[in-house]
Amino acid sequence: MKININEIKFTIRKPTGFKKHPNLLANITLTLKEEFGEYLTISGFTLWKSKFEGYNLGVPSKPGFKFSLISTSLKGKIKKAIIEQYEYDSIPIIEEGNK
């Protein structure tokens, strides 16, 4: 079977209310779309503030079992796109007053 993934979209949700972990910045869901519009959605990715500098991307997992294994190069591309979108979404919207 050969599946051609044409697009990777992601939804970023910032935690609201009580947070168990203060360094958790966002929960992410990835949607992989193929050329005929069919899709696969993977939830459970997380974006964390690093202890040192920058961000860490967590893949969906439970203790002792990984739901997804991602090649290093693809994970790097996904992480870069998520961070760019997270930072863009974090820019406050400033509306100019009516003149």
pLDDT tier at 98, thresholds 50, 70, 90? low
C-alpha Rg value of the chain to the nearest Å: 16
What's the pLDDT score for residue 99?
53
pLDDT in tens, 2-21: 888 898 898 999 888 777 78
CA torsion, points 17, 68, 9, 28, in degrees to nearest 10? 10
Nearest to 45 by CA among 27, 21, 69, 68: 27
User: Rounded mean pLDDT of 41-52?
Assistant: 89
pTM score of the predicted model: 0.75
Taking a C-beta distance cutoff of 8 angstroms, is the pair 36, 6 a contact? no
